[in-house]
Structure 1
Amino acid sequence: MAVLLLAGAGLSWLQRDAEPLQEDVAQASSTDAEAPLALPLNWQLTASSQRPLFDRLDRADQLWRPRVERLPGGGQRITYRRRLGEKPLSTVQLRKLMAHPPSYRNEREAIALLLEQLERSGVVLVVRQPKQQGAAGEWNPRRGELRLRPDVASKGTVNFARVLNHEAIHVAQSCKGGSLYARPRLLGLSRSLSASGRRHLQQPLYAKASREQRLLEEEAYANQEQLNLGWELLARHCRSQ
């Protein structure tokens, strides 16, 4: 959380969680607020069951809005959350953000399209702890199962959309390999990583990854923020069930 003082195939393909938040003050209150936003364990997510998901995302997004706090001496401060690597916001930018909160319309549309296309492709999308510790999402081509960690929705719409898009790219990699249940193959996308993507791949989760796994992860991380890409790749490479 940032503070601005005012004068006055036999393998599973994984994704790390969103980057840790930069913290200048205690995070206990935000952690407590996130707890009820976790998705129900073993809940199967489909295009027809997305309403409860969006309800949780609505509440989680509230936690990312800047807030003005009054200080005991009569001054004020603005507190807001930003992901590691994001540039600090100015007072003017924060005031504008408070007056006009983002709607996340593009992210919501992308999530809806991804849920629909994953279902068409025969993917079982379930809320369940990934087998690999620290993974936010996990694609298992042997089972045709995509797992999402229960607390992913508590990080808000932006993070959820990126996690789901990342895993959809891994599903498309399997389809490129021959079928939904095949060993993933590279799609031929850019593997040029941002600083954020490089930090993710330096996490202990990938310490024992093979060269093949790292290349597949590079492709997913390099393109996960292109939210129109995941469902397009699924439509192109995966057969409808």
Structure 2
Amino acid sequence: MTEPPALGAGDRLDFANPLSADRADRMVARLAAARPSTVVDYGCGWGELLLRVLDRCPRARGTGLDVHGPDIERARRAARDRGLDGRVEFVEGSAADHRTPADAVISLGAYQAFGTTVEALEALAGRVKPGGRLLFGAEVWTVPPSPERLAHMWAGASTDDCVDLATLADQAVAAGFRLLRVETATLDEWDAFEFGLTEDVEEWLLANPTGPHAAGLRSELDGMHHRYLHGTRGVLGLAYLTLGRRG
């Protein structure tokens, strides 16, 4: 292979989040237990979690939305391969443009489509039918970040960029939801995700150390690893809230 793999495509990952298969199965089971007939995933990525819910709920129909075209194409291929393409539609476009309420709604790491976490929870409350379920994922601080850690994160990182877990849970309740399950990604899930995003490109670099793309990719990967290991690891978490909409 003379051309490197696409950096960040996640070809070796099942999910576009720090999420283990075991945790995903438990989440899917909780959503499926409510027997939804309609499921919408806002910021669906390549649609793996949505497809697993539809596989568990043979009478349900689903819609996945994402602004990243390659992920949507990957989701459509996966749906065809699993015989689910007749029950799911994947749309390339903004989550904020889709307003049809559903029995089960998924939004993992994509709240920015609606604004802040408060604005996202308020918007999603209107997109979950009474008595329905929302699986909501958002970044939180697991510990208050020190100035030294913030300096190694993304440009302009600030303590105001995230809230802590308890504050996020309070925001969900204020938006009209009840807390069914509150959990956070483990360090093992984060490590598997962060290095799963880059492993195929790192292996390409080992095989092509002097290729025309090597220097630029090596610099970009070094920056990603540095931001994670010296900045966000153990400080930035991802909360998964399974929420019930009041009837």
Which range, TM-score by smaller chain?
A: under 0.3
| TM-score of the two chains, using structure 1 as the length reference | 0.23
| TM-score of the two chains, using structure 2 as the length reference | 0.23
Greater strand share, structure number: 2
